[in-house]
Amino acid sequence: MKIRILLLTLICAVATVPGVRAQEGKAKSADQDEQTELGAKMEKVGAAFRKLRGSAADATKNADSLKQIAIIRENMTAALKFDPAMKADKPAADQAKFVAAYQTKLKEEIAVVEKVEAALKAGNNEEAAKLVAQLGQDQKDAHKQFKKGAPKKQ
């Protein structure tokens, strides 16, 4: 008798798991649909930056590092055309100032990316690695200031 109850419970559990997983997939795709063009550009920057962080100090990987720098610069420059989603959360009077601060910060980071590129071309990987570390810290600081946080799960 106990085995039948256990078996029935196990069958019910196995039968409901695919339905639960399907709901999770729908929730994830809904979140992905909300991605902005700016978010897409910044995802490309993030992916290239992760690769660059691992290769900047290694002189044998300079060619790959320079490719990643080109991707980062291209997408950061394109990101200048877009406004952060967080702009909508600001009062109307402060929105222009907020966007100007975002663009100024992004231009400063593009200048640092160009310094990394120059250091890599000069074969100064130690300097390039320091600048990449600076870019990483700048990214964290800028995201606190300009990136809208993910909605809290309840």
pTM over 0.75: no
Q: For the residues of 78-123, what is the DSSP string, one character each?
A: HHTTS--GGGGGS-HHHHHHHHHHHHHHHHHHHHHHHHHHHHHHTT
Question: What pLDDT digit, counting tens, does each position of 44-76 carry?
Answer: 999 999 999 989 889 899 999 999 999 999 999
Give the least confident one: 1-5, 80-84, 99-103: 1-5
Q: For the residues of 40-73, what is the DSSP string, one character each?
A: HHHHHHHHHHHHHHHHTT-GGGHHHHHHHHHHHH
Domain-wise residue ranges, the chain: 1-34, 36-146
Question: What pLDDT digit, counting tens, does each position of 92-136 carry?
Answer: 888 889 999 999 999 999 999 999 999 999 999 999 999 999 999
CB 149 within 8 A of CB 116: no
CB 144 within 8 A of CB 122: no
Higher pLDDT, 97 or 13: 97
Query: Does position 43 have pLDDT exceeding 60, yes or no?
Result: yes
Query: Does position 15 have pLDDT exceeding 80, yes or no?
Result: no
What pLDDT was estimated at residue 12?
64
What pLDDT was estimated at residue 29?
45
Cα 66 → chain centroid = 20
- List the CATH code of the domain at 36-146: 1.20.120.10
Neighbours of 65 (CB within 10 A): 28
Q: Residue 107 has which token pair? A: 């231009």
Among candidate residues 71, 51, 70, the one with its CA nearest the CA of residue 61? 51
Higher pLDDT, 75 or 28: 75
